Structure 1
Amino acid sequence: MKRATFAAILLGGAAFLPSTAWSQTAPAEGSQSLDPAASTPAVPAAGTPTTTPPAAVTPASPQGDSGLADIIVTAQRTASTAQRTAVALDVIAPEAVQQITEPQSLTKLAPGVQFGNAGGASPVFYVRGVGTITSLPFIDSAVAINFDEVYLGRATSAFGLYYDLDRIEVLKGPQGTLYGRNATGGAINIVPAQPRLGLNEVSGTISVGNYEAANAQAAVNVAVSDKIALRASGIAYTHAGYQTDGTYSERGAGGRLQALFKPSEAVSIRLAGDYFHLGGTLSTGVVLGSTDPQTGAVVPSNLGPDVGQFDPRTVSFLNSAFSTTAGAAIGALTQRPYSNSNFYGVSAHVDADLGGANLAIVGAYRGADLDYVSSIGSFSSGDQEKDDQYSIEARLNGKVGPFDWLVGGLYFNEKVNADVQVNQIVLGVNQRQDFRNISYAGFGSLKWNLTDTLRITGAGRYTQDIKKFDGSAYTATAICTSPTRLCPNIRRLPSDVSNLPAVLNSLGYVQFAPNTPFVDVTGTSNVIWSASNLPVTGRQAPSKFTYRGAIEFEPRPESLLYASVETGYRSGGFSFSSIAPQYGPETITAYTIGAKNRFFGNKLQLNLEGFIWKYKNQQVTHIGFSAARNVEYVTENIGQSTNKGFEVDMTARPLRNTTLHADVQYLDARNDDFVFTETDPSALAGLPAGTIPSVTNCPRTVVPNTGLYQINCSGLRAQRSPTWTLNLGAEQAFDLSSDYRLILAGNTHFQTSSIVNFERRAFGIQDSYWLSDASLTLAAADDSWSIGAFVNNIEDTRVKGITSYLASTGTYQANYAPPRTYGMRLGFRIN
């Protein structure tokens, strides 16, 4: 269908419809306020399932039947109702994240958003096919994560935030003007509950469940005076391992303290600090199969998604899986995963009404001390990392005549020091990284209210980045030199590979001159270790102007039509690769038309959106081979894609105690141009070209006399972009008496198959699946207490977070989302 025709159908029909995403509803008598400090979340229903949309977990108002009410959001940096915010927006209520402790579980809450895990504390964020794998410290996420108005420079810092929240806002599409760089896919705003003046209250939840799970959360709000309020909140949780070997366990504990001082009606000052400790083994991988060295066929492991890497069945498989490069069985991992990581931060928020304008200033420091080892199928990865970031943002907005205006500026300074070790048993990597990033930005927007129902908006942002990188990557690869290509006497790497030269020496392999292989001085094997040290030092200073233009029209008081064009960019960076030691920025331009509507006295809400995104110079992270016969983890700019589709979202409250929700998204995300070169991995073992399969399973062409393949993935579907996504939810409340209510809630998430690895090889497809939750809750009519039962992932579907193929070992592995969980939950509130 042509773009103009599609737009005419959508806009023409929407003029007679009404407005909100499933998550943009509140109780009919909810006390939503433009003052963020005036809001506090209700105590969650004890059995609320983690995936229930807010529309399905919000109790019907006992006083009346006025339908759906609005939620106040700050997605456009000023307070507005979600239904009058002309962007693609989902709002997730705090009740929906009661049991969420890792970002991967957010996938089922926001249609069109795909979250995964690359192992350990490395989350993966994709929105409508736009994102990247942030498995190394220096890789920027394509989806901006903001906590309490502060941008998080590293995706690993997205842990430990999901308690005592006011809401989570998910903005789909580039947010280059108001959220800046690294928001090509969108932005996620995690908004904590704030201190409330005049309120003395204690609230919380306690839950227990299978896998020895326990989760306790509490918040205390104290009105010190009519001008000062304090809020303290905390969380402590644990669950045993989801895998058969006891891995994929998690323990977390943290707290948040805030102080609000409001010396006058015009000035508000809020200070906040938080700390979180993350322990356990975190997400671990499963070995899916290996490549037969004789035939090149895939040999499945036939191990279920719950079989851990230290299970005897996995150990047996890895002890028989053959590495063509090493000429021997790969061998099993010996170091168990762990996490001993800490995240913390402080911030100051100043809001002032200057009479003709409103001023907001946010200054913050955030830090992280990462110490973890993650096990990912046939290899492990460790990271000892120190992150520090400082930022200050100032915004001024007001109204002059028919114009609403906003101007602002941002200073961001980030330092990352990391030591990363990768152990593939027959291959090891040490990386030392010293990364610095300073970013300056100025932005503004102007909305011209042409009439009471028609307005146009223009916005722009100029960003200047200064990035400095200094690091080195030491790689050692086992290579069999026997004429038979068999080296059974190989001595494999031990658990600790933090100093590879010393480790190889301890195994009896010696390097007699720089840049030469380590040889076996014991004479008991025909193995050499090819070793190299790749230094990467550089500086980048990219700058970019991004913009947004939009038109809004209200054909009726309950309807909003809008059309917009917006651009975004993600700054370039560095990677430990001789193939591409530096890569450039990626850009995106998004064309959107939409309608937000309400009908029947706010009983029905229907939102529609169509979008076309043009994505260029995509930053793609993948494994490759260098001309020096080394395995490299490279990020490079590869091609462009067109992501287009539509979303239809409906929420209805036909009766006072009944809420229904449905959201469906269609997405066609396809590579227009995706061509790159790849070294023939056969060269690693000195074998004839094509002996070892190409890393990437796309059509390939041999480049004569170069040892290179040209790989062409053009025309194929983009990663993490299911064609159809469906969310359904319902809640029914029963008034047992004037004192008690019984609440039955359920929801389900469905999506069609999608690609979940770059290589497009075996096991790289996540098949279509359903994921459903349900709960039954008995609650006091005044919400002072509740008790209930819940079950999440009724189908016990283990969704693939990410899969990978290692050509160096010929193995396939995957990380999976949690299995079915169930339990009981108690909620309370004391005023």
Structure 2
Amino acid sequence: MLGRILFFGAGVAACGSSGGALAQDAIPADGDEGTPAIVVTGSKLGSDPQRQARSLQILSSEDLASRGIQDVAGLAKVVPGLTFTRSTYGVPVYSIRGIGYFDNSLTAPPAVAIYIDEAPLPYSALSTGASLDLTTVEVAKGPQGTLFGQNSTGGAINFVSAKPTDRLSVGLSSDIDSFGQFTNEGFVSGPIAANLKMRLSARYERGGDWQENDRTGEKRGGKNLLITRLLTQWNPAHNLDILLNINGWRDRSDTQAGQLVTLRGASPPLPQGVQSHPAGVRNNRLADWSDDGTFARDADYYQAYLRVFYRLENLTITSITSWQHLSRDDTSDSDGTNFQLLQSRTPGRVSIFSQELRARLAQGPVKWMVGGNFQRERVKDELALTIKDSSFPFDAIQTKTRHRNRSWAVFANLDVDVTDRLTLEGGGRYTDERRRFQGCSYDGGDGSLAAYVGRVATTLSGTTVNIPAGGCVSLSDRLLPAVTDTEFSDRNWSWRAGLKWSLRPAMMLYANVSRGQKSAAFPTVAGTVASQFAPAKPESVIAYEVGAKATGFGGRVHISAAAFHYDYRDKQVRGKTIDPNIGPVGALVNITRSSVWGGEVTVDAEPLKGVDLAAGMNLTSSSILGPFLAYDAYGRRRDLGGEPFPLTPKWQLFGNMGYRRTVGSGGSEVFAGASIKYQSGTNADLGEIAALYLNPYAIVDLRAGVTVNGSWTVQAYVTNVADQKYGTFTSTVSPDVNVRFTGMPRTFGLRASYRL
């Protein structure tokens, strides 16, 4: 490893998606000698991960590199219970044990909290650059309300960046794959002056057009992504640590094109070319898109983060200040054809400021922490759709929304060692949140939508309603166009109680009960009725979990097992509502009652010197309880009770094998490995509609290479060896078509790296 492994820094982050933990707050530097012991900065000071009374998984930088995981999406290949997909417009969606939040909006508050070095990323769209130059990635499963506050009902993912080193250190790596994607990454780290160290990291990904147009043979899908980070660590006194993190990324990559699955019998009929377009299951590469545009991301992100840590005997005080800004203007063609059934443009801008202050005392058998935090957000989110070849009676629609959010929280945590074997843990957090929303859908500029809605409003109201071209078309209860201007306030408690029982030094049992809360959410949807902008109410979950962890055979085998049950209230999902003017449209829906139960087991072993084995299994059974009348993905009102959650596979299986052998006397090694992931089938939307079903699949990856003198490494790899055909998401992107977004086809690659 490059340095100490941190886990879930001490309280972490900002209200709305932050929190406190009884944690080791000192800022670690990358070590220069050997491989240090694992240190976890969650509930127990300096404790081994196998001693943590919660389900968590830790992946080192070596784990990530050897398995070819270079981005956030790759974590779903190695973490049981974690799923990743992208929405129709490219917004990342994370779920753990069936708890996630799927929405197309830039401002979709996640159910899985994302952090970089204790700094929160309140929205999933901000996480593109999180995987740069890491020491570890840690995944905590289940509600993390007292650790991370709101919007962590599913869990939390913490990316721990590699810190500045005490001596000059340089690393370079380069990767090329069979689609022509180049990935170049490097860092330089070391002291600048007495008590002052810096680390500069960067990664650039370019090329790799892996999608092929089955009509023209044109290629697309390539990357154009630059990520940078500058860390400055200053220790002006022996008990004062200051870390400044300035980072950002620029993304000009192609957006993914959809693959046409089925036509839906539109009325009026679609153009003849659409009706004869190839559809159905094909290989992962084939898709289609319009000839009249370049569809790509255009996003820029910047973050500045200051962490100040002060120690005074047993008392520590920590301040975390963060500012971040994202601007984007992405375009995509999602309909799977060369016609304009659904082309989108999604301009947006996010500015977030957060501040946390906490104090922690560790003395004898008692450890406590108290603190508070504040967060302010300013968001602009827009959605412009071009649909002139669709069955809609207009050519374009544009939705514009504005969000002003403010939240603050106070929290406290307490751990008490009742005996040398029994520990009681508890914590609570009070959150006060206010969200203000303004939004309306507008005519696309040609006047077709304005004229259509004006005629409908005139007929229904008996009064002439004239809407100018480009004007607001969202009708109020009075059947007049009006901008929705509303506010939602919420006050809530998150809490956790648990116990940990050490049977012996190498075996531990635990039991937890916790309550998590997720914020209300306003949608960015296209529609002509103001009520479509109604928010989804806050969701809450009470989670029960029991587990066991054991280490045996001289520390060469680690086993973790857990069983869980979640009692859900008002789960937020992306569903449908009926716009009386244009039919079924997207909306946010609350499921009154639902539940999740399941279990998981992970095993890590080194049975022989140089042989590493890992296996994991996750069972997640979700269900909508009782009669639940709502609209399915096709806009049909039905009882959806008894259905599982969308995008929630019941089974996930993982396996990894690595072999490493020293050759010669200069510290050189040869290595090889293989990994496999299996995921059972799941439906992508409400209603269990066959056309939206995602089939089960298994992905096998292979790798082999050599390390020379501990500095040079060359590795060859193959991902998706069997070229498995699979989808990551299927959607009714319009009333006319169902579209699939596919996973990556078989890819060969070569990676070389050097470290001084």
The answer, yes or no, to whether TM exceeds 0.5 is: yes
Task: Select 2:50's aligned residue among 72, 77, 83.
Answer: 83
Task: Select 2:612's aligned residue among 643, 659, 680.
Answer: 659
Question: Counterpart amino acid of 2:519?
Answer: S
- Corresponding residue for 1:456? 424
CA distance in 2, matches of 1:41, 1:612: 40
Q: Secondary structure at the match of 1:343?
A: strand
CA distance in 2, matches of 1:608, 1:461: 28
Question: Does residue 95 in structure 1 map to residue 21 in structure 2?
Answer: no
CA contact 1:516–1:531 (8 Å) conserved in 2 = no
Question: Counterpart amino acid of 2:150?
Answer: R
CA contact 1:726–1:751 (8 Å) conserved in 2 = yes
CA contact 2:182–2:208 (8 Å) conserved in 1 = no
- Corresponding residue for 1:812? 738
Task: Select 1:800's aligned residue among 707, 713, 727.
Answer: 727
- Corresponding residue for 1:286? 259
- CA displacement, residues 340-397 of structure 1 (integer Å, 9 cap, x when unaligned): 1111110101111121211221101011011111221252221111110000112221
- Corresponding residue for 1:762? 690
Residue 433 of structure 1 deviates from its aligned partner by 0.9
Question: Does residue 391 in structure 1 map to residue 364 in structure 2?
Answer: no
Residue 814 of structure 1 deviates from its aligned partner by 1.6
Q: How many residues align?
A: 693
Question: Does residue 726 in structure 1 map to residue 653 in structure 2?
Answer: yes
- Corresponding residue for 1:356? 314
Q: Secondary structure at the match of 2:448?
A: helix
Residue 95 of structure 1 deviates from its aligned partner by 3.4
Question: Counterpart amino acid of 2:609?
Answer: R
Larger Rg: 1
- Corresponding residue for 1:589? 542
CA distance in 1, matches of 2:159, 2:512: 25
Question: Counterpart amino acid of 2:282?
Answer: G
Question: Counterpart amino acid of 1:40?
Answer: D
- Corresponding residue for 1:225? 193
Normalised to the residue count of structure 2, the TM-score between the two structures is: 0.86
Question: Counterpart amino acid of 1:737?
Answer: G
Question: Counterpart amino acid of 2:531?
Answer: S
Question: Counterpart amino acid of 1:154?
Answer: Y
Question: Counterpart amino acid of 1:151?
Answer: P
CA distance in 2, matches of 1:660, 1:256: 33
Residue 84 of structure 1 deviates from its aligned partner by 1.8
Question: Counterpart amino acid of 1:163?
Answer: L
Residue 102 of structure 1 deviates from its aligned partner by 4.7
- Corresponding residue for 2:301? 343
CA distance in 2, matches of 1:468, 1:379: 29
- Corresponding residue for 1:268? 241
Question: Does residue 413 in structure 1 map to residue 373 in structure 2?
Answer: no
CA contact 1:773–1:791 (8 Å) conserved in 2 = yes
Residue 149 of structure 1 deviates from its aligned partner by 1.1
Question: Does residue 239 in structure 1 map to residue 192 in structure 2?
Answer: no
Residue 504 of structure 1 deviates from its aligned partner by 3.5
- Corresponding residue for 2:279? 301
Q: Secondary structure at the match of 2:735?
A: coil
- Corresponding residue for 1:176? 145
CA distance in 2, matches of 1:455, 1:771: 41
Question: Does residue 749 in structure 1 map to residue 712 in structure 2?
Answer: no
* Change over 3 Å in CA distance of 1:771–1:613 after alignment to 2: same
- Corresponding residue for 1:162? 131
* Change over 3 Å in CA distance of 1:187–1:194 after alignment to 2: same
Question: Counterpart amino acid of 2:596?
Answer: N
Range 425-434 or range 367-376, more displaced? 425-434
Question: Counterpart amino acid of 1:420?
Answer: L
Question: Counterpart amino acid of 2:516?
Answer: G
- Corresponding residue for 1:256? 229
Question: Does residue 604 in structure 1 map to residue 557 in structure 2?
Answer: yes
Q: Which has the higher contact order (CA 8 A, sep 6+)?
A: 1
Question: Counterpart amino acid of 2:741?
Answer: N
Q: Secondary structure at the match of 1:420?
A: strand
- Corresponding residue for 1:380? 343
CA contact 1:285–1:308 (8 Å) conserved in 2 = no
- CA displacement, residues 154-201 of structure 1 (integer Å, 9 cap, x when unaligned): 2111112212011111111111112111111111111111112x2211
Residue 615 of structure 1 deviates from its aligned partner by 1.3
CA contact 1:176–1:567 (8 Å) conserved in 2 = yes
Q: Secondary structure at the match of 1:405?
A: strand
- CA displacement, residues 252-301 of structure 1 (integer Å, 9 cap, x when unaligned): 012111111012221100111012100121332111111245999x9981
- CA displacement, residues 526-548 of structure 1 (integer Å, 9 cap, x when unaligned): xxx99655632211110101100
CA contact 2:414–2:425 (8 Å) conserved in 1 = yes
* Change over 3 Å in CA distance of 1:780–1:512 after alignment to 2: closer
* Change over 3 Å in CA distance of 1:627–1:554 after alignment to 2: same
CA contact 2:497–2:514 (8 Å) conserved in 1 = yes
- Corresponding residue for 2:398? 430
Residue 410 of structure 1 deviates from its aligned partner by 1.2
Question: Counterpart amino acid of 2:61?
Answer: P
CA contact 2:439–2:533 (8 Å) conserved in 1 = no
Task: Select 1:502's aligned residue among 436, 442, 446.
Answer: 446
Question: What does residue range 568-579 of structure 1 map to in structure 2 within 5 Å?
Answer: 568-575=516-523, 576=525, 578-579=531-532
Q: Secondary structure at the match of 2:446?
A: helix
Q: Which runs of 5+ in 2 are unaligned?
A: 7-23, 214-218, 270-274, 336-340, 460-470, 475-480
* Change over 3 Å in CA distance of 1:756–1:671 after alignment to 2: same
Normalised to the residue count of structure 1, the TM-score between the two structures is: 0.79
Residue 761 of structure 1 deviates from its aligned partner by 1.9
- Corresponding residue for 1:634? 587
Question: Does residue 125 in structure 1 map to residue 88 in structure 2?
Answer: no
Question: What does residue range 135-146 of structure 1 map to in structure 2 within 5 Å?
Answer: 135-146=104-115
- CA displacement, residues 461-509 of structure 1 (integer Å, 9 cap, x when unaligned): 00010110011113xxxxxxxxxxxxxxxxxxxxxxxx5143639xx97
- CA displacement, residues 516-571 of structure 1 (integer Å, 9 cap, x when unaligned): 59xxxxxxxxxxx9965563221111010110000001110111211000110111
Give the % identical residues. 23
Task: Select 1:208's aligned residue among 170, 173, 176.
Answer: 176
CA distance in 1, matches of 2:380, 2:445: 22
CA contact 2:284–2:726 (8 Å) conserved in 1 = no
Question: Does residue 467 in structure 1 map to residue 420 in structure 2?
Answer: no
CA contact 1:249–1:283 (8 Å) conserved in 2 = no
Residue 818 of structure 1 deviates from its aligned partner by 1.8
CA distance in 2, matches of 1:512, 1:773: 57
CA distance in 1, matches of 2:294, 2:235: 51
Question: Counterpart amino acid of 1:723?
Answer: K
> What is the RMSD computed on CA atoms of the aligned residues?
2.9
CA contact 1:41–1:94 (8 Å) conserved in 2 = no
CA contact 2:26–2:309 (8 Å) conserved in 1 = no
CA contact 2:630–2:640 (8 Å) conserved in 1 = no
Residue 824 of structure 1 deviates from its aligned partner by 1.0
Q: Secondary structure at the match of 2:548?
A: strand
CA contact 1:624–1:695 (8 Å) conserved in 2 = no
- Corresponding residue for 1:705? none
- Corresponding residue for 1:737? 664
Question: Counterpart amino acid of 1:794?
Answer: V
Q: Which runs of 5+ in 1 are unaligned?
A: 1-25, 44-60, 64-68, 312-331, 475-498, 518-528, 679-693, 698-708
Question: What does residue range 552-567 of structure 1 map to in structure 2 within 5 Å?
Answer: 552-567=500-515
Residue 723 of structure 1 deviates from its aligned partner by 2.1
Residue 443 of structure 1 deviates from its aligned partner by 0.9
Question: Does residue 717 in structure 1 map to residue 661 in structure 2?
Answer: no
CA contact 1:638–1:674 (8 Å) conserved in 2 = no
CA distance in 1, matches of 2:267, 2:300: 47
